[in-house]
């Protein structure tokens, strides 16, 4: 399986790749993986490389040359079925899962395995999740599920219990945005381009150089869900820097380290819980006041500096 076609994953991702390879070599594949990670290019490369290995017809997997590998690369493999919302920011509906219920029991067209990639898994509504659960309870032996989720707070516990969960690291390219992972790619790209300024403004907030109300009002120009998405990534990256440190020397890393040093891990975990709670409400289309919610979130950073 040591193929030159495998992407050069970072050290954090490489250990998870080695784990997958070991599971595959020893024929201990679960029927369902749940990979928890922001939808960056690295996480999507990881998922599609998993699929390429599972579908490749040659001994050295993925070979990158056989028909299966070429079709996976082109995202046109008939045995790789991708389920995602019909539109940006939408949900995965029960009709999409019902289509799988017939397809799942059909023999693979090109090999011995069929893969269902579902992303983002947290976007399933309750009827869709219940329909998926029936498939997960008695899956065909030739079927492998790969669920990719940014968080698991809205995924049914019964689905979680039937998947092997891997919490992938926040890769070095955590700012690399994929079209599939963005509700509004142009807005998120704009936010990413301004991320150093946003980190600097959080530092100013903690130091008392700007008020909660002023900063929340300034950030109101951004799409609320996209801003929460970016703040979740920043918060997670701060946790990584605080717990493991950083050897990076570029300006963004230095700003993140400076900001992270203002807090303790329990505070950042508390903020992450609050961010996930907001995401959960957004996914359920609950009516929330964006400005007030953002002010309350920023108070969590302002009130507990280290």
pTM metric for this prediction? 0.66
Strand order in the sheet with 143-149: 80-83, 114-118, 143-149, 32-36, 164-167
Residue 269: CA atoms inside 13 Å, Cβ hemisphere, count? Answer: 4
- Position 184 confidence tier, pLDDT thresholds 50, 70, 90: very low
- Position 7 confidence tier, pLDDT thresholds 50, 70, 90: low
Indicate whether 176 pLDDT > 60.
no
- Position 3 confidence tier, pLDDT thresholds 50, 70, 90: low
CATH 1.20.272 residue ranges of the chain are 185-302
CATH 3.40.50.300 residue ranges of the chain are 11-167
Looking at the structure, give the CATH architecture of the domain made up of residues 11-167.
3-Layer(aba) Sandwich (3.40)
Q: How far apart are CA 55 and CA 142, in angstroms?
A: 11
Q: How far apart are CA 79 and CA 181, in angstroms?
A: 22
Looking at the structure, give the CATH architecture of the domain made up of residues 185-302.
Up-down Bundle (1.20)
């Amino acid at each position: 399986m040591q193929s030159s076609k495998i992407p050069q994953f970072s050290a954090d991702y490489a250990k998870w790749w080695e784990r997958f390879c070991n599971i595959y070599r020893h024929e201990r594949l679960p029927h369902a993986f749940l990979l928890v990670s922001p939808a960056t290019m690295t996480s999507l490369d990881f998922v599609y490389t998993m699929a390429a290995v599972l579908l490749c017809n040659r001994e050295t997997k993925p070979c990158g040359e056989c028909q299966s590998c070429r079709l996976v690369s082109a995202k046109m493999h008939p045995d790789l079925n991708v389920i995602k919302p019909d539109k940006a920011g939408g949900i995965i509906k029960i009709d999409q899962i019902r289509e799988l219920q017939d397809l799942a029991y059909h023999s693979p067209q090109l090999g011995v395995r069929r893969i269902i990639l579902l992303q983002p898994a947290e976007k399933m509504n309750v009827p869709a999740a219940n329909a998926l659960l029936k498939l997960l309870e008695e899956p065909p032996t030739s079927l492998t599920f790969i669920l990719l989720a940014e968080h698991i707070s809205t995924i049914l516990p019964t689905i979680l219990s039937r998947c092997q969960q891997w919490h992938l690291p926040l890769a070095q390219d955590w700012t690399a945005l994929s079209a599939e992972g963005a509700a509004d790619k142009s807005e998120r790209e704009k936010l990413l381009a301004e991320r150093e300024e946003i980190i600097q403004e959080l530092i100013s907030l903690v130091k008392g150089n700007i008020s909660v109300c002023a900063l929340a009002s300034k950030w109101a120009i951004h799409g609320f869900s996209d801003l929460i998405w970016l703040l979740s990534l920043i918060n997670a990256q701060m946790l990584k820097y605080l717990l493991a440190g950083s050897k990076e020397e570029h300006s963004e890393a230095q700003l993140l380290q400076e900001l992270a040093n203002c807090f303790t891990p329990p505070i950042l975990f508390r903020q992450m819980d609050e961010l996930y709670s907001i995401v959960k409400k957004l996914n359920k289309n609950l009516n929330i006041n964006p400005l007030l919610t953002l002010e309350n979130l920023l108070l969590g950073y302002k009130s507990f500096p280290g």
